[in-house]
Chain A
Amino acid sequence: MSLLEVHDLVVDFRQRGGARLRAVDHVSFRLNKGETVALVGESGSGKSTVVRAVGQLQRTDAGAVLLDGVPAGRHGRALLAYRRRVQVIFQDPFASLNPMHTVRYHLARPLRMLGGSRSGLDDQIHALLGSVNLTPAEEIAGKYPHELSGGQRQRVAIARALASGPDVLLADEPVSMLDVSIRLEILNLLDRLKRERDLALLYVTHDLATARHFSAEIMVMYRGEIVERGPSDEVILRPAHPYTQLLASAAPDPSASREQLAAARRARMAARETASQDPASRDLAAERREVLLGEGCRFRLRCPHAMDVCARRPPDAAVGDQHRALCWLHARAATPASSAGSES
C-alpha cells in the first residue's frame, strides 16, 4: 500500500450555458515515502486542479483520495487531520504570503493550530527557518514578505508547509516564478527535505529537464488525462506518446550545434506547413482550449501520427517496464489493464 493513493479522480467545471468542462478525467497515481513524482504538461492541462483536488482545496466529482488507505477527510476534524499530513506549496510566493503579516505570524499559525505551547513557539519557528536555510532566523522572523526576495519568500512558504510535520508535499510549480539562478537552490532544498523527512513529493512543473532531474517517475498530462507515465529517464529519453515527444522536442537544447538546430527548425516548419494545408486542422493553430467530449484521443488534432482508429478511446498500453502510454500506436503491446496506475 502506498502512502497516498489517488483513484480515478474527476473534476468538472461548469461553464456558461450549462456545459461541463472536464478538467481532470479519471486520474490515478500513487505517492510513496521518500519518492518524488513529477506531473508535467502545458498550461490548462489540469495539473493545478489535480493538486487542488488532492489537497482538498477543490470539490471533486468522482474518485477517491486515500491516505494510508483511509479516505481523505472532507469536513471538520477529519479534514484538519488530513491537511496536517498533506500540505501544498503554491506557485506564486508573492501571492501566497499575507503582506500584512510577518514571517513569524505565517509560521506561528500552523504551529498553534497543532496545539503547540506558546513558550516553545519561537524556538520552533527558528528551527523551521533554519531547516529551509533562512538565517539568521531571529532577524528573518520579524520581516514582512515585501522585505524578502522571491527565493526567500518561497522558502518561507516551504517552512510553513513543513510546520505541521506533513508526510506529503504537493508542490505546484514551486519555482516557475523565480529566477533561473534561484530555482535550483529551491529544488535542491525540496530534495534534501524529502530525503531527511522521508516525504512523498508531487512536483508539478512544465519543465521537463528539472522533472527528469528531481523525480523518479514522471506523469505527462494532456487536457485532463495522464497520457504517459513511467520512470523519468524512460519518459524523457524514450518518450512513447506523441505529445510527450512534442514536449521533449520543444525544450531548449543548449548542447545542440547550430546545424542541428537549423535542421530541426526546418523540419518543424515543414510539418506545420503540411498541417496548415489540411482544412480540418486549421483550428489546431488556434490552440483551442475546449475539450473534445468524444471518446477519442484528445491529442489527435495535433498529432502527426493521427489515424482513423484515434477517434476511439486509446488503450493504456505498456511500452516498457512500468512505462505506459495512452496511445493507439502502442496498441499491439497493450495489456488489458483497466485503469492506469494500478500496475505498481
Chain B
Amino acid sequence: MSAGEVILRAEHVSVEYAGRRPTRAVRDVSFELRRGEVLGIAGESGCGKTTLAYALARLLRPPARMSGGEVTFTTTAGQTINLAALSGEQLRSFRWTKVSMVFQSAMNALNPVTTIGRQFGDIFAAHRPAMDNAARDRRARDLLTMVNIDPERTVCYPHELSGGMRQRVVIAMALALEPELVIMDEPTTALDVVVQREILDEIERLREQLGFSVIFITHDLSLLLEVSDWLAVMYAGRIVEYAPAEAVGKDPAHPYTRGLLGSFPDMRGERRDLHGVPGSPPDLREEFPGCPFEPRCPSAFEPCRTKLPRLLPLSVNSGSGWLAACHLHDREVIGK
C-alpha cells in the first residue's frame, strides 16, 4: 500500500434536489483524498455535507440527483472506477466492498427485530455468497471482537445493547468486507463525551491496523481538528476552505472558518468573549451572484456582493495545498 496515492477524486460535483425551484445542495465541489488519510468535512446543518457524502457513495435517490461532475475511485490494484458509470451488479459489488458508510444516528441504523448476528449474515449473504453459515458466524464474531464487543453478543437484539455498543456494531458492519474507504456521517454525535472518545480511539486503532481511508463528517469542528489530516469547510453547498487540519485551527483563512472556530469555548484556556456566527445559512434554492456568506461576514467588502469568490491556493502557503474561497485572499480582487 503506497501512501500519497489518490484513492478518491471528486471533480466539479453538483447535486440537485428536484422541485419547482430545485435545491442546489452541492455546488461544484472538487477534492482529492489520498490513501490512508482522514478528510474531515465541517459545516452547519443544511450546508450539503451529507448530500455530498451520499453522492460519493452513489447513494443518492430521487428527488436528489448528481447534476454535474465526476467521482473516480482508484482501487489498491490500481484500477480506476468512474462511479457514474457503474450500474446494476457492478454497483452492488462496488458498494460496501470498496466504499462503506457509517450512517448518521447509527444507533437507529440497525434492524430492531432481528439479531446482530443475522444482520452480519445479511452482509455476507449479499456479498460473499460462497461463504457457508459457519464461516459467516466466525467472521461476525471476529468483527465484534475487533471493535471490543463480546462475540457472544451476536445473539443479541439491538435494544439489548447500549448506544455506544450499537455504534461499535455499526462500525464493525462498515468494516465487514474490508473496504478501502469508510464514509462516517456524524458517527459520534448522539453519544456522551466518554463514549465518543472510546469510539474515536477505536476508529484510529482500526485505521492503523487495516489502513482504510476515512471521510469524517460532523458539525463539531473541535473534534474534526483532532481526527482529520485535511479539513474541508462547506458553506452553502461549496467548499470555502480546504486546509491541513493541524494548522487551520490556529490560523484560518476564511471568515466563516474563523466564525466556526470561535463558536466553542476552549475548555482549559482563558475565558474570552465568544460570538458564534450570527444569522442563518442561506436558502439553497436561491442563486447567489456574490459570496453566499457575505450577509453574515464581518469582513465583507464591495466585490463580495457581486462576484463569487474562487477557491484559490493561499499566497502565503502556496504549494501546501491550502485553499480558500474568499476575496480577501484573491490578489486580482484586492489588487496586490
Name the distance in Å between A260's Cβ and chain B's nearest Cβ.
Answer: 10
Q: Is the interface of A mostly helix, strand, loop or mixed?
A: helix
Q: Is A62 an interface residue (CB 8 A)?
A: no
Of the candidates B197, B221, B246, B259, the one whose C-beta lies within 8 Å of that of A268 is B197
Q: Which residues of B contact A261 (CB under 8 A)?
A: 226
Report the stretch among B4-12, B14-22, B160-168, B173-181 that lies at the interface: B160-168
Of the candidates A208, A254, A289, the one whose C-beta lies within 8 Å of that of B225 is A254
Specify the chain B residue showing the minimal Cβ separation from A261: B226
Specify the chain B residue showing the minimal Cβ separation from A213: B265
A285 x B148 contact (CB < 8 A)? yes
Of the candidates A149, A265, A268, the one whose C-beta lies within 8 Å of that of B280 is A149
Q: Is A183 an interface residue (CB 8 A)?
A: yes
CB-CB contacts below 8 Å: B78-99 with A: none
Q: Is B193 an interface residue (CB 8 A)?
A: yes
B162 x A209 contact (CB < 8 A)? no
Specify the chain A residue showing the minimal Cβ separation from B223: A252
Of the candidates B165, B259, B267, B280, the one whose C-beta lies within 8 Å of that of A253 is B267
Q: Is A277 an interface residue (CB 8 A)?
A: no
Interface size grouping (class) on chain A: 35 or more
A252 x B275 contact (CB < 8 A)? no
How many Å lie between the Cα of A272 and that of B204 in the bound state? Answer: 15
- Inter-chain CB contacts under 8 Å: number: 120
Of the candidates A184, A212, A250, the one whose C-beta lies within 8 Å of that of B197 is A250
Q: Is B75 an interface residue (CB 8 A)?
A: no
Q: Which residues of B contact A42 (CB under 8 A)?
A: 192-195
Q: Is A276 an interface residue (CB 8 A)?
A: yes
Q: Which residues of A contact B249 (CB under 8 A)?
A: 254-255
Name the distance in Å between B116's Cβ and chain A's nearest Cβ.
Answer: 14
Q: Is A293 an interface residue (CB 8 A)?
A: no
Specify the chain B residue showing the minimal Cβ separation from A209: B267
Q: Is A303 an interface residue (CB 8 A)?
A: no
Given that A183-B263, A208-B267, A276-B148 are contacting pairs, would A253 and B195 also be in contact in the complex, using a CB cutoff of 8 Å?
no
Interface string of B181-202 (1 = CB under 8 A from A): 0000000000011111110010
B44 x A289 contact (CB < 8 A)? no
Q: Is B45 an interface residue (CB 8 A)?
A: yes
How many Å lie between the Cα of A255 and that of B280 in the bound state? Answer: 27
A182 x B276 contact (CB < 8 A)? yes
Q: Closest 6 CB pairs between A and B? A: A184-B276, A250-B197, A209-B267, A213-B265, A181-B277, A42-B192
19 contacts between A and B (CB under 8 A): A149-B280, A179-B219, A182-B44, A182-B280, A183-B276, A184-B264, A207-B193, A209-B265, A213-B274, A246-B194, A247-B194, A251-B193, A253-B226, A253-B267, A254-B225, A256-B226, A272-B148, A286-B150, A288-B162
* Inter-chain pairs besides A236-B267, A253-B267, A257-B246, 20 sampled, C-beta below 8 Å: A42-B192, A180-B44, A180-B219, A180-B221, A180-B264, A181-B277, A182-B276, A185-B276, A210-B265, A213-B265, A251-B193, A251-B267, A252-B222, A252-B225, A253-B222, A254-B221, A268-B201, A286-B150, A286-B165, A288-B162
